[in-house]
A and B are shown apart, each in its own frame.
Chain A
């Protein structure tokens, strides 16, 4: 069975400076990758003889409005069914440049996951065959999961947080 340490070493040897911040919260290997190395990285993990990380579990994003230069984080969960090993890759993007290459040519299933991420966060996946909104309607001109859109109407005065124990 693969250990987090081994896989991390293999990836560092191949990609050097473009991968960083290795960590394993709750035993899941997590690291940050550069945007331009993302497609080579995922291809490498898939083609590697022993790693065989060939299953894309999930693509999603997170918005951190208070972190300058790293406002968006696109998260990829990958899984090696042969070695039963899971992996999480993060790509940080800044607010002005939310482009990230698509991985649809590698994984057909990434199509809708990326569309959903685009719909909810406005991340633009370069080279995606059909980047449209999927859950919300086409006419919407904002991306609802961004933190600047609070869930409750901010102008309401009858719902003061202190009264509700928040």
Chain B
């Protein structure tokens, strides 16, 4: 069992000699973390090789909830793919939905009115906050602090109420449409968003007070699972995980979509790329998201909340009951008679975890010829063995938690 890897992991522990002079080290333990384990927050397996307390090497098995979304997409009209996308990163489904809608809009060449773009921005930033709440809250739980999680989770519940007001659904939302939004912001939705902006800073501040300088928490996360900027880029990290390593790459700034260029916000960056930096970057991003929502609410333009593209935009249901043209378009769109041009599009949005890309190839048919999702989770989870090598099991748990590994996005 003597291997180079083991020697590296054991560099603090000198190899022992018995009487005959033969070197030996401890026998390795194989530990299965997952597929279903409370600390994996999803269904995937980590097979850890442990030398005592230390992790020598690890290997991941994924694919337990692989649902063949890319294959299914090849038979589905564009609208029906929306329901697939919000089952990927289910912690922030509006971002996935609208990323997909924007990809199709790019293919079809539809321009969206400003008001619809601003509503999208508000919804996507709310989704980002919800995503970061669950990531940071669960990181607290994994270090043994349940209070912070319970306290901040009620704010996520409040965001769900806003979703509910926008589309009737809470988890698998479907509030966007190709060409705009399904509904305008209702007075209730506006009131709730304003209420959220008023109450969330206080909660977030208290959450930060609970964790940021907490000695027990810092002992668990500082200098744990660090990754250098160079390695992170080499692995294809994006989003908060990359920014924690010190690279200020954000799709919202680099390739602005949906009027993100209109808003002022900062990109928080960390230094060492360790678990603490990832936590702090996500916390800071929640503040920045609130800034964006505040600006969008203040400057919400008047006008239509959907583009004038009746052959693509699914008409409101009330119209369908009363208006013949709306009924015809509704029927054509639902049956997938949408005229898509031939072309290939790559569109990326800044998802909760990083660059969420949609690569769509259309041959002019009713469904994509090929659709590929660039899932940020899938790409950065492969760095996990490198990040937890030589550390203990309890470190491995917080590293996984702080990377925000979401099984739905991992497998697609």
Contacts and interface: CB of A to CB of B under 8 A. Distances in A.
Interface in A70-123: 75, 77, 81, 84, 86, 88, 107-113, 116, 120
A62 B336 contact: no
A89 to B, nearest CB: 12
Nearest to A152: B75
B62 A135 contact: yes
A5 to B, nearest CB: 20
B334 to A, nearest CB: 9
Given A26-B345, A81-B249, A57 B374 contact: yes
Contacts of B381: 112
A58 B63 contact: no
Given A57-B355, A109-B235, A135-B63, A62 B374 contact: no
A84 B254 contact: yes
Interface in A112-143: 112-113, 116, 120, 133-137
A84 B66 contact: no
B107 to A, nearest CB: 8
A112 B346 contact: no
A56 interface: yes
B155 interface: no
Given A109-B379, A165-B336, A145 B359 contact: no
B63 A136 contact: yes
B316 interface: no
A109 B75 contact: no
Interface of B: 62-63, 66, 68, 70-72, 74-75, 106-107, 231, 233-237, 247, 249, 254-255, 335-337, 343-346, 348, 355, 357, 359, 361, 366, 369-370, 372, 374, 378-383, 411-412
6 tightest Cβ-Cβ pairs between the two chains A and B: A109-B236, A165-B335, A135-B63, A135-B66, A60-B372, A109-B235
20 contacts: A25-B344, A60-B372, A62-B361, A62-B370, A63-B370, A77-B357, A107-B235, A108-B382, A108-B383, A109-B236, A110-B236, A133-B63, A134-B63, A135-B62, A135-B411, A135-B412, A136-B66, A144-B68, A145-B71, A164-B335
